[in-house]
Structure 1
Amino acid sequence: MIAHSIRKLALTLSILFAAMIVTAPAQADEADIAAAARGVVRVVIIGRDGDQIFPIAHGTGFVVGDERIITNAHVINPAIEDKRLSIGIVPPEGGDAVYARPISVSPRNDLAILATTKPMNLPVLTIAGNPVSGQSAVTAIGYPMNVDRAQGLDQNDLFRATPPVMSTGFLSGRRPSREMDTLLHTAPIARGNSGGPLVDDCGRVIGINSFGAESEGTEAEFFFAVSTRELLPFLRANDIQPQLNALACRSLAELDAQDEERRQQMISAEQRRAEQAEAELARREEELRRNLTYRTIDTRANRMALALLLFVIALAAGGGAYLMHLRGDMRQRAIIGSVAVVALVGAAIAWLTRPTFADIERDLAAALFPELPAGEPSNQPSGAIVSEATYSCVLDQQRSRVTSAPKQDLEINWSTQGCVNGRTQYGLNAGDWTRVLVPSTEAAVSVNRFDPETSEYVVERYLLDRDAMSNARELRKQYEAPQCGGGEQAARKLGIDQGAVMTALPDRPNERLVYRCTLSESGPD
């Protein structure tokens, strides 16, 4: 009895464990946090002693637009109060530090916008457009001073590019204060983190770290971040259109699992349709066979009866003709003899043309599988469509992983030789039309694919660090993309040449945008 109870308990626990595995949400890709960190900068308050400069204090900021940095107002407050001080912006990797000036400061909600004196070509961070809720995992990104001290960094080191520190915790809910709307969280921050982003698992900003709660060391530590309810109006009031994303944060593993489930469902549905079609074919075959059999039996019996009747007539006519011959009536003999011959020939024809049971199978095959008209051979390369067409494409949010703010709708003018919108030639490899885009300024590589047969357009974006991006650009310089209209051979060569860049990319992209395309009513221009 006890052993039975133990086995029952073990079975119950295993079922619960399996259910937890199946229903547990897939974690977002860690590369998204690293990609967001590449847009986080150190904000340094700089003093001068003759020609020498030295740091007074520092905080954190992040890129919200071209040459625009957001930080806390209290971070740059010393430079506002003392005009002899300057503000410096130090990038997270490579590049030189630049100066910045404040263009808007809001002490009420502790926000400030800085304009850099030179372009830094850093990625703009995406801001989450949906309100956060529950105890979601969050990451604080910034430059805590205690880490600098632990590393033994001196003053000059603060002006050198250094990757920010990332600390994780959980959201503890909204906590509106007297002056501003804030988020309470447990991701550790320290002096120097102020102005840095608090991001979700997709690397999207949900707040700006500002201050921490006092702790006696034995109590749980909590920290405050200015919420996007304060950030977004402040940016818009200063003519900065934020890069927004209100979609759910989902991992590629989750999307791949859903795609596989969808594929299995399609296979199952196709199998069911095939089984139904097979059953319908068997039913129709049985019905046709029965009808053909009945028809064959009837036709065969009628032909045989007709042959017998004509044979009897031929015998009777032959006897009559012989009687006329005995009587010497040659004219009647000829007439009756002709009737006998015709009847005999008709009997032979009726007998020979009676259907056989073997004809049933031939008629059955002809009825079930009628001959189709032969198609004309196509001279188009594999994967191409018959003619030029214009497609209207809509982002499929259920199948996409979006961490930035992409276009929801696209229009694609596609040619038979893989030219998009009359200017971008796609490469053809193994039946797939692909174009790899390696920009000279943005730190991201895009792999765009279009399948004319399924009318599906897919964009996969890889957000790379400085070294990986430099390598991708070097590989891209090794080949030249042909102009549109270069022909199938040029398209196939491009498809092969792009392989070097694609091989150097990470295993998984940061974003996957799946567009469903339909033929546009306007048609090609």
Structure 2
Amino acid sequence: MAKLIQIICLYTALFFHIGAAQAESQDISAASRSVVRVVLVANDNGRVSYVGHGSGVAISPNLVITNAHVVEALQYDPNIVMGVVPSEGKQSYAATVIAIDPSKDLALVKISQGRLTAATIYSGPLTDGSDVFAIGYPGTVDNAQGLDFNDLIRPQAAVKTRGSYSQGRSAKMFETILHTAPIGGGNSGGPLVDNCGRVIGINSFSSVSNGNDAEFFFAISMRELTNFLRKAKITLPTVNSMCRSVSELTAAEKEREAAEQAKMIAAEQAKMEAAGTAKSQMRRKAELDILSERENIMALSGLLILIALAGFGGSYILFQKGKREHAIIAIGIGAILILAAIYFFMNRPGFNEIENRMAEMAKQDKQLIGADNQGDDTSKENDKAPKEGVKICILQPERSRLTVSNGADVSFDWKSGGCINGRTQYAANGSIWTRSFVPNQDSSLSVISFDASKNNYKIERYLLGMEAMDTARTARQRYDVKSCTNDAASLDKITQMNNAIKEVLPSEPNELLNFKCSDK
């Protein structure tokens, strides 16, 4: 038995590890969408030559952070120009430096056209020994692939490497993060990210190794980056929530739901047992009441018969004494008493009245509900329509995974037909109403659902690549319903749209937000 338990625990741990690894891979892939190659080229009388390149990370649709030493040559040679090459798409963009601080090795670059996918910046504390990932464009990989200049200015996937964060060792010239995720020439200016794909530093330099010692790497801290951007009058939105595995949250959510279901079942069973006990008590009381009434009526009937017999005896004596009129009166009274006794006896309560008396008692006491009606009452309670109106939804951090959002409260106007805010129609699946949202420009897709019976609001956000986003946009345009409706065909279109978009989604979202709602 002990060995069996060990095997079960091993498989359980393996399951969660696989789930965490899968979510981690999706997050790092999502983060790489924001990483760009920063290329410098010289234009000498029409002759274009490659000068060098580094990496960078988009912090807004048109702004890129990189190292100052990556773009340093621009300050000394007017013939050198700069381009930003994203990891996806079909074109690169001209760019200029709008802020630079060589003492912190940071530079802010702006593209003249186009739109980039902005990264998420993490401003919270780091855990010593935690996994980190360096993303960028190391030149050694380009050389090994045999890439030429034309290849370098075409969008390509960035290279990801993995290592660990080491706390407490910073460079003297500016605050840095020490880590072991390998970087090379060309990685400079690229991001260092955590397990959730959030930027925690900007890679800058490495320790000097003679080939015998291990090499370590340094990234500029978020504090330095925030101060640099503040001087450039750039406000940087950040998140500071703990990085959690979606698989762990999903498992915990299933356990919570199972516990709630078990609690509901136990409460229902307790109510049914209480109803059964109440019914038994009502039946016993009805039986005792009927027995008591029958006994009283039989005693009364017997007493009336005895009085009647006494009257008959008295009438005989009166006849003997010649009091005929009085004798006849006594006989009449006795007959009446006999008839009354027979009437009371024949109309005494029967045991077939038990159910009727139980029903009367139940009406007088609403807590005494028949067990036969318990299931129907529970069903009616469960089927009770949720209240319409404005809902205020507050994030449940212990049930959520924040990677790109700040977790602000959500409010909306809810109608029982699945209409939100009077303009957006959701599709029903039982008590849960769902709608998929695919923006035209942002590279994130959201699946939002509202469980009207439990007042639970959920946002599942997927950070997809360009091809997947285009496929999702096509599905949205094919089935899109732009306003609230009760038309069955339109509601079916929304369901079809949700299903079509679901086909392009990975198994787990990059961000999971669970809210608990209440009526305003």
TM exceeds 0.5?
yes
Q: Which residue of 2 aligns with 1:232?
A: 226
Residues 1:206 and 2:200 aligned together? yes
Equivalent-residue separation in structure 2 for 1:200 and 1:386 (angstroms): 41
Residue 262 of structure 2, aligned match among 261, 265, 268: 268
CA distance in 2, matches of 1:337, 1:491: 87
* 2:34 paired with 1:36: no
1:303-358 deviations in whole A, cap 9, x for unaligned?
22112112222333344456657777675456444533442343234323444556
Aligned equivalent of 1:4: none
**Structure 2 partner of 1:389:** 389
1:471 maps to 471
Which secondary structure state, in structure 1, belongs to the residue aligned with residue 404 of structure 2? coil
Distance in 1 of aligned mates of 2:274 and 2:150: 82
Cα distance in structure 1, aligned partners of 2:145 and 2:461? 35
Equivalent AA in structure 2 for residue 96 of structure 1? Q
1:52: how far off? 3.5
Contact 2:386 2:452 in 1 (8 A): no
| Residue identity opposite 1:37 in structure 2 | S
Specify the alignment match of 2:101 in structure 1. 106
1:209-266 deviation per Cα after TM superposition (whole angstroms, max 9, x unaligned): 1111112223222100111121123223333332322111111110111012112222
Q: How does 1:140-289 map to 2 (within 5 A)?
A: 140-281=134-275, 283-285=277-279, 287-289=281-283
- The worse-fitting range, judged by mean Cα deviation, of 47-56 and 441-450 is 47-56
Which moves more between the two structures, 360-369 or 218-227? Answer: 360-369
- Cα distance in 2 for residues equivalent to 1:518 and 1:457: 10
Task: Please name the residue that 1:445 is paired with.
Answer: 445
Native 8 Å contact 1:29 1:201 kept in 2: yes
Q: Secondary structure at the match of 2:459?
A: strand
Find 2:58's aligned residue among 50, 55, 63.
Answer: 63
- Which position in structure 2 is the counterpart of 1:513? 513
Tell me the percent identity. 37
Give the distance between the partners of 1:141 and 1:66, measured in 2 at CA: 19
What is the alpha-carbon distance in structure 2 between the residues aligned to residue 299 and residue 390 of structure 1? 58
**Matched residue SS, 1:496:** helix
Aligned match of 2:75 in 54, 76, 80?
Answer: 80
- Counterpart of 2:203 in 1: which secondary structure? strand
Q: Decide whether the 8 Å contact of 2:207 with 2:216 is kept in 1.
A: yes
Map 1:354-393 to 2 at 5 A. Answer: 354-356=348-350, 359-360=353-354, 363-364=357-358, 367=362, 368-369=368-369, 385=385, 388-393=388-393
Instruction: Tell me the residue number matched to 1:503.
Output: 503
Return the letter of the residue paired with 1:437.
F
Q: Secondary structure at the match of 1:504?
A: coil
User: Structure 1 residue 66: deviation in Å?
Assistant: 3.0
Between the aligned partners of 1:99 and 1:199, the Cα distance in structure 2 is 26
Q: Equivalents in 2 of 1:413, 1:357: separation in Å?
A: 57
User: What 5-or-longer segments of structure 1 have no aligned partner?
Assistant: 1-6, 521-525
Aligned: 1:95 with 2:71: no
1:206 and 1:383 map into 2 onto residues whose CA distance is 48
**Alignment match, 1:312:** 306
Evaluate the alpha carbon distance shift between residue 57 and residue 126 of structure 1 in structure 2; reply closer, same or farther with a 3 A threshold.
Answer: same
Change in 2 beyond 3 A, CA 1:456/1:338: farther
Q: Secondary structure at the match of 1:441?
A: coil
The 3 A distance-change label for structure 1 pair 351 and 103 is same
1:458 aligns with 2:458: yes
Take 1:508 and 1:438, find their aligned partners in 2: how far apart are those partners? 17
Per-residue deviation, 1:20 = 6.7
> Is the contact made by 2:82 and 2:96 (CA closer than 8 Å) also made in structure 1?
yes
CA distance in 1, matches of 2:256, 2:31: 31
What amino acid maps onto 2:164 in structure 1?
Answer: F
TM-fit CA distance, 1:441: 0.6
Q: TM-score, normalised by structure 1?
A: 0.87
- 1:477 alignment partner, SS class: helix
Q: Is it true that 1:51 corresponds to 2:46 in the alignment?
A: yes
| Counterpart in the other structure of 1:3 | none
Structure 2 CA distance for aligned equivalents of residues 93 and 115 of structure 1: 18
The 3-state SS of whatever aligns with 2:311 is helix
TM-score (norm 2): 0.87
SS in structure 1 at match of 2:162: strand
State whether residues 482 and 494 of structure 1, in contact with CA within 8 Å, keep that contact through their aligned partners in structure 2. Answer: no
- Alpha-carbon distance, 1:275 to partner: 4.7
Residue in structure 1 matched with residue 338 of structure 2 by the alignment: 344
Root-mean-square deviation (CA), in Å? Answer: 3.3
- Secondary structure of 1:198's match? strand
Quick one: structure 1 residues 298 and 163, their matched pair in 2 at CA, closer, same or farther if it must change by over 3 Å? same
Partners of 1:428 and 1:492 within 8 A in 2: no
Supply the distance in 2 between the matched residues of 1:19 and 1:505 (Cα, whole angstroms).
Answer: 25
CA distance in 2 between counterparts of 1:346 and 1:242 reads 99
Deviations 1:13-40 (A, max 9, x none): 8799689769989444311110110010
Match of 2:121 among 116, 121, 127: 127
How big is the shift at 1:276? Answer: 3.7
* Deviation by residue 1:358-415 (Cα, 9 ceiling, x = unmatched): 655664576442598999xx9xxx9994664111111111212221024421111112
Aligned-pair CA distance for 1:171: 0.9
Structure 2 vs 1, CA of residues 322 and 256 (structure 1 numbering), >3 Å: closer, same or farther? farther
Q: Which runs of 5+ in 2 are unaligned?
A: 363-367
Supply the distance in 1 between the matched residues of 2:126 and 2:281 (Cα, whole angstroms): 64
1:107-159 superposed Cα distances (whole Å, 9 cap, x missing partner): 22211111111132x22111112110210011100000000000001112111
